[in-house]
Each structure stands twice: as C-alpha cells, then as structure tokens.
Amino acid sequence: MIGLDFGLGALEQDMWRVVFLMTRLGAALLAAPFFGASAVPVAVRVTMTGALAIFVSIWMPNVQTPEALISAEGMLAIAGEVIVGLALGFVLQLAFAAPTVAAELIGGGMGMSMAMTTDPGSGGTTTAFGQYFIIVLTLIFLATGAHLHWIALVTESYNAFPPGQTWLGPDRFAAIAGFASFMFETALRIALPVTLILLLVQVLTGILSRSAPSLNLFALGLPAGVLAGLAALIISAPLIYDQFTGLVADGLDETESVLDR
C-alpha cells in the first residue's frame, strides 16, 4: 500500500489499510468537540482512532484503499480523507459554539465579562457561564447517545464518500457555512430570555437614577444586574436545556445532510 515491501505479507497490507482509515477518523475526532478537546491526551486520541479504524476495516471490507500511499494518487486520497473528516467534525464544532456565544451575550449584560476562565476543551478563554453551558451541553450530548450516533455517521461516510471520491462539492460547503448562521440564531434564542430581563433591570435602574440622582443607584446597578441575571438563568433553565437538546439534534441532522446531499 505504501509502495514499499517489508516482507510481512498480508499483515503488512492490513496494517497500512488501518493507518489509511485512521486518516479520516482522526481528522473527524480532532475537529469535533469533546473528542478533540485539548485536555484529552494525544495517546488516548490515537488509541481511540486506531480502535475505530480496526472496527471499520472489519465492518466495511469493501472500502478500497490506494495501492501506493507514497505517490501522487495516494497523497490526493489522504487529502480527501482529511477534508471529509474535518468537515464532519466542524459541523459538530459549530453546534457546540452556540452556547459559548450565548454565554458571551449573557455575561456582557450582567457585567461579568471580566470573569474569564480557561476552557479545557478549546484551550482558550471563556466566561464562567460559557464553561457552565459547555458542561451542560456535553452531558446532554453524552446522555442522549449523540456521540454514538455521530461516530456511526462518520463510519457511514465511507459509503457516501469512498476513498478517491471525497470531493464534497460547493453545495455541501455552502450548507456547512449556512449552518454557521443557524448557530448564531440559536445562540440568540438561548440568551434572549436572560438578556431581556437584564435590559429591563438596566432601564429601571436608569429611570430611578434620573428620578433620584442623590441615591447613586448606578452603584447598585451591577449587583442588581448580577442577581437578576442569576434569577433569570434559574427560571429559564428548562427552556435553555430544551434549546441544548434541540441543538444536539440539529448538529446530527446537519452532519447527516452533509452525507446525503
């Protein structure tokens, strides 16, 4: 398969076939949230990718691999595998980005934008609410078995895009870009109940401050906004959780549409 012969016969052929299958699976896991989190050790990622590649090689024996990986045809095949894997993982990454955007809106309205923390998933920084939302979304993602469904879709991609026929086409790239706009729409729906209450609190504080300037009510604006925001989060928690559940389903549906389009 690589144009070289180490004298191991069929075992060598199977080994390089598994390595080739690991390309798409590894790219998908790297681009996806939770699986590709920076907190996950590299050894765990490689082991998971190798195990999935072995299962795929057994479940789908008809998947054809290039005769020689170290060739122009082999390099193009590997590039196509990477593109498909990154596309499938990126769709799920967009779904997980919506709560982070919503948390930025909520944190800015509450005046808690300065409360930043390190995100173990992306390695960057996010607000405290962003970390909370990501944890809740991850728990819903795992509890509903969506991770198994997504892995099944990545495996099914070998039927939709066999090696050597991995060009997604402009329609699929446009669909993935369109899903990004849906992500911002979902983030707005998640943050809307809380931000609406915060807006009312700010308006009320401004009216009282103009009515009685000597009370210096703006000094109480920040604590009032924080308390109102926390109360709004508690009250709207069922709505937010429903949005998260729908977001997971929409991410899987979009991943499936990439394969079916």
pLDDT 10s digits, 173-193 = 788 788 888 888 888 888 888
Quickly state the pLDDT bin for 1 (edges 50, 70, 90). very low
Residue 217 has pLDDT above 80, yes or no: no
- The C-alpha atoms of residue 155 and residue 167 are separated, in whole angstroms, by 17
What distances in angstroms separate CA 184 from CA 81, 102, 168, 190, 234, one per listed residue? 29, 8, 24, 10, 23
Residue 260 has pLDDT above 70, yes or no: yes
- Pick 48 or 37 by higher pLDDT: 48
The answer to whether 126 touches 116, Cβ cutoff 8 Å, is yes
- Pick 11 or 206 by higher pLDDT: 206
Percent of the chain with pLDDT over 90: 0
Q: In the prediction, which pLDDT does 213 show?
A: 66
Residue with tokens 């948390």: 103
pLDDT 10s digits, 3-43 = 555 555 566 667 778 888 888 888 888 888 877 677 777 88
Q: In the prediction, which pLDDT does 261 show?
A: 59
User: How many Cα atoms within 13 Å fall on the side-chain side of residue 130?
Assistant: 27
- The C-alpha atoms of residue 174 and residue 103 are separated, in whole angstroms, by 27
Residue with tokens 């079916």: 260
Q: What is the mean pLDDT of the chain?
A: 79
118 SS3 class: strand
Which of the residue ranges 30-44, 73-87, 140-154 has the most confident prediction, judged by mean pLDDT? Answer: 140-154
Mean pLDDT of 68-74: 70
Ramachandran angles phi, psi of 165, nearest 5°? -130, 50
The answer to whether 120 touches 39, Cβ cutoff 8 Å, is yes
